[in-house]
Amino acid sequence: MKPAHTSTRKVHAQALENLDFTDTRDFDDVRRGFIGTLPDAQVLTARGDVAWTMRDHAFVEGEAPETVHPSLWRMARLNTVHGLFKVTDRIYQVRGFCLANVTFIEGDTGLIVIDPLTFVEHAQAALQLYRAHRGERPIRAIIYTHSHRDHYGGAKGMVSLEEVRTQAVRVIAPAGFLEEAFSETILAGVPMRRRSLFQFGTTLPPGPMGHVDSGLGKAVGRGSDGLIPPEWLIAEPIEKHVIDGVEIVFQLTPGAEAPAEMNLLYPGLRALNLAENACHTMHNLCPLRGAKTRDALAWSRYLDTALQDFVPYVDVVFAQHHWPVWGAQRIQEFVAGQRDLYRYLHDQTLRLMSHGLTATEIGEALMLPNHLSRQWFARGYYGAITHNVAAIYAHYMGPYDGNPANLNPLPPVQAGTKYVDYMGGADEAVAKARLDFAAGEFRWVVEVMKHVIFSDPGHEAARALSADAMEQLGYQAESATWRNAYLLAARELRNRRPAGAPGSIPISADMLTLLPLGSFLEYLAIRLKGEKVQDLKARFDWSLRNDDGQAEQQRLTLSNGALSHLAGQHEGRVDAGIVMSRAELATWLATPDGLLQALDTGAMDIRGNKPLFRQLLAALDQFDPMFNVVEP
């Protein structure tokens, strides 16, 4: 790791001049209602490993170092505050024990838990902290505000499946929750997890030249999976219910921050929970880890509805990240500002699209209005204008920019080889790029060195220069996610990526076995090496016994290398029938070749053409969850 370049120091000086660092209201709000915490918010796994700690980020205090954007440093300081906080009467939050917050609402006879954090260990620690200060209260309901894992993964740390069954604990989520959670963590799970390392800087060492924050919170942490499937779905745009004596108005916001999400108004408590639709940052309209693009127009409209229908009747607005906002004037400014932020990005992107500008050109030109850009809650700690513009463009127009020159470009390795040849060779390109580095042209250095590296991954001078430029871009980034991505790229260029685990299971077997059989089969289908079985034709009936003794039936058809499925059973000829329980499926999924081994040892119940079904299992692909990103 190297010091800040002169150009980087100039970027930081400009930010100090343009932004109002004398506005310290957020530092008062982030500590308001503090009750207590654990030392360093440290949480251990059952094996004694660290699942979460703030200890490694104790360096985040005082003035910003030269290697961190001062605005990001400000957010990093705010995100170090952790513990149990009183939001208002009967509403409490544990913050800083995970990337997200967990909210506890005290009902008439027990607790309503909103978003039980990422991992079981995080949830257990948060609940213990709450109970240490507020006493024992049984959990009556768990509500998931949306379908991202930092808001549901720790549910079993709050309540067991047995307690859900025997004590009638309601588990509530927006319509489409399980399908969207499955889509992100299973169908797109492998590339998304790899890219998440860059977004969150998971493997970066904490420090002024490394990881300082993640924008929405400090970091991700680690631990055990603990999703409990919802049994009550909110399906109407607005629904009103009373849960353990607490009236809740649910506002569905599909397509905003998550494909399945909802805001929650508590009229009797004069409080509004905006889930992750309004945090103290410009959010992203497509995260660096990848996701379905988000609808900026719908997002803005949902906030506008909340502003009109809910905000006049509340004294506090809070979310499942960051800290609350109190007082009528500040709440109005905060929610209206967030509404305007996404509306402005949407409308101006489409306006400039209509002049023929591409996403890259719009991202370079678009600036927020001066008043909005100086609001701390609109700064790009998690999102960024250029990336959000690209997401809006892709949402309407797809990835193609309309120029036929970009319609069918060469893949990176072939293009890199040609570029370097045109440049006069790798050494000549590096020599020229060193001059641009000295001038602070880091974006161009990264662009040029990308081609050299993809043409010759072993060219150490190109790797080193690209890493140096990436590092400076990371130091300059106000967005925590951009900083993390640049710095991890620099680290992998210098040290090579960590060794992968080919054939490992990067997907949670626990998650898979909670899903309907049809969803599991969709995951199985994306692992099929289609070309290997393109000449096979087969019909299978698959039966999966649930814990209650009931069985799910799916009919599979293998044809032209594609595996399709529908509920029910085939009529007429069937090549084989597969019968198993969920417990067996979970056991066999614990290892990469578990299904195949179960078939070969006779543990799997197959009725019919066993060799044909074996051909299907033998054609399942294995994924390396640590595939290359910054090199071929």
For 560-575, write each residue's pLDDT tens digit.
Answer: 999 999 999 999 999 9
Lowest mean pLDDT of 64-68, 191-195, 337-341, name the range: 191-195
- Cα 261 to chain centroid distance, Å, stands at 14
Cβ(455)–Cβ(426) below 8 Å: yes
- Same domain for 277 and 418, yes or no, is no
Position 248 in a domain: yes
> How is residue 257 written in tokens?
């921050």
- Last residue of one domain, picked from the residues 439, 463, 495: 495
pTM of the full predicted structure? 0.95
Those residues with Cβ within 8 angstroms of residue 230's Cβ, 6 or more apart along the chain or in another chain: 144, 171, 172, 173, 177, 178
**CA–CA distance, 618 with 612 (Å, rounded to integer):** 10
Position 490 in a domain: yes
Position 8 in a domain: no
Position 18 in a domain: no
> How is residue 131 written in tokens?
């109970």
Residue 366, domain extent: 24-351+358-373
Please state, rounded to an integer, the average pLDDT across all residues of the chain. 95
- Same domain for 480 and 521, yes or no, is no
Position 625 in a domain: no
- Same domain for 523 and 604, yes or no, is yes
Portion of the chain with pLDDT greater than 90, in percent: 91
For residue 459, give the CATH number of its domain. 1.25.40.880
Distances (CA, A) of 94 to 61, 115, 123, 213, 589: 21, 11, 10, 18, 34
Helices 6-18 and 70-78 cross at an angle (nearest 10°) of: 70
Can you give the pLDDT at residue 534?
97
**What one-character-per-residue DSSP string does 459-477 give?**
-HHHHHHHHHHHHHHHHH-
Backbone φ and ψ for 336, nearest 5 degrees, come out as -65, -40
- Same domain for 552 and 486, yes or no, is no
- Cα 507 to chain centroid distance, Å, stands at 15
- Same domain for 479 and 457, yes or no, is yes
Can you give the pLDDT at residue 189?
87
For residue 91, give the CATH number of its domain. 3.60.15.30
What is the per-residue burial (b if ≥16 Cβ within 10 Å, else e) of 114-151? bbbbbbbbbbbbbbebbeeeeeebebbbbbbbbbbbbb
Backbone φ and ψ for 315, nearest 5 degrees, come out as -110, -10
- Same domain for 144 and 260, yes or no, is yes
Position 401 in a domain: no
- Same domain for 227 and 170, yes or no, is yes
Q: Is the pLDDT of residue 515 over 90?
A: no
- Same domain for 490 and 538, yes or no, is no
For residue 559, give the CATH number of its domain. 3.30.1050.10
Position 627 in a domain: no
Q: Is the pLDDT of residue 280 over 50?
A: yes
- Same domain for 208 and 88, yes or no, is yes
- Same domain for 445 and 302, yes or no, is no
Residue 100, beta-bridge partner list: none
- Same domain for 481 and 526, yes or no, is no
Residue 50, beta-bridge partner list: 44
Q: For the chain, what is the domain count?
A: 3
Strands 325-326 and 316-318 come out as antiparallel
**CA–CA distance, 416 with 450 (Å, rounded to integer):** 7
Q: Is the pLDDT of residue 503 over 80?
A: no
The pLDDT tens digits for 138-172 are 999 999 999 999 999 999 999 999 999 999 999 99
- Same domain for 102 and 45, yes or no, is yes
Name the band, by pLDDT with cuts 50, 70 and 90, for residue 394: very high
Those residues with Cβ within 8 angstroms of residue 495's Cβ, 6 or more apart along the chain or in another chain: none
Quick one: residue 356, left, alpha or beta (phi over 0 = left, psi -120 to 50 = alpha)? Answer: left
Cβ(124)–Cβ(157) below 8 Å: yes
Position 387 in a domain: no
**CA–CA distance, 288 with 196 (Å, rounded to integer):** 7
The pLDDT tens digits for 220-261 are 999 999 999 999 999 999 999 999 999 999 999 999 999 999
